[in-house]
A and B are shown apart, each in its own frame.
Chain A
């Protein structure tokens, strides 16, 4: 079966969740009050907005991830054929790895992989 099954699955997922949520909406009688809609923060009122600017200490990891992620997509086609091609492929990817590993070591040395 082809890619059409993906659509079937997506529709199934939407139907499943949609129906479940719909049933929940229909069956329950909900009470409302002002406090109910407020964000839950351990039972006291929140101070200030929650959508604030926020210091994501780990964005450097996300940067590095992107680089390695791209590396990964090159490795997939390589992995498929490496057995067929043999040594050349290993050497080519060895160079590829070596260069990236240099970068990795550089990052390590610079302390980019350390939490700040």
Chain B
């Protein structure tokens, strides 16, 4: 499609995935970790769309999966942030190190 082989796009999504993973590894702040997760989810989304478009162009399943992933990502982000803020309120910190026992 458009002269770009599918592997190039997959390269992009893989790279994005691992950037996210890198963030997950190095960051210790819950919010930044959430950001890393968003990046990872995005790389997955790209894959879904690309596979849908290149490999099964007649269907729309990839598109739907993307929509649902985005939905779930939103719900997850909302709940996660609610939790983070609550955690902050009780622990005064949102560092994962400080939040080893997740009970409040």
Are both chains from one complex? yes
A interface residues (Cβ-Cβ under 8 A, vs B):
59, 63, 66-67, 69-70, 73-74
**In the bound complex, do residue A63 and residue B82 qualify as a contact, i.e. CB atoms below 8 Å apart?**
yes
> Which of B71, B81, B82, B85 contacts A70, CB < 8 Å?
B71
Chain A contact surface mostly? helix
Interface assignment of B67: CB less than 8 Å from any CB of chain A: yes
Q: In the complex, how many angstroms separate the beta carbon of A4 from the nearest chain B beta carbon?
A: 12
Q: In the complex, how many angstroms separate the beta carbon of A55 from the nearest chain B beta carbon?
A: 11
Q: In the complex, how many angstroms separate the beta carbon of A57 from the nearest chain B beta carbon?
A: 12
**In the bound complex, do residue A66 and residue B77 qualify as a contact, i.e. CB atoms below 8 Å apart?**
yes
B interface residues (Cβ-Cβ under 8 A, vs A):
67, 70-71, 74-75, 77-78, 81-82, 85
**In the bound complex, do residue A66 and residue B78 qualify as a contact, i.e. CB atoms below 8 Å apart?**
yes
Cα A8 to Cα B81 in complex, Å, equals 38
> Which of A59, A66, A67, A74 contacts B85, CB < 8 Å?
A59
Q: In the complex, how many angstroms separate the beta carbon of A74 from the nearest chain B beta carbon?
A: 8
> Which of A67, A73, A74 contacts B75, CB < 8 Å?
A67
> Which of A67, A73, A74 contacts B78, CB < 8 Å?
A67
Q: In the complex, how many angstroms separate the beta carbon of A28 from the nearest chain B beta carbon?
A: 39
> Which of B67, B81, B85 contacts A73, CB < 8 Å?
B67
Q: In the complex, how many angstroms separate the beta carbon of B87 from the nearest chain A beta carbon?
A: 14
Q: In the complex, how many angstroms separate the beta carbon of B83 from the nearest chain A beta carbon?
A: 11
> Which of A63, A67, A69, A74 contacts B81, CB < 8 Å?
A63
Q: In the complex, how many angstroms separate the beta carbon of B82 from the nearest chain A beta carbon?
A: 6
Cα A98 to Cα B85 in complex, Å, equals 29
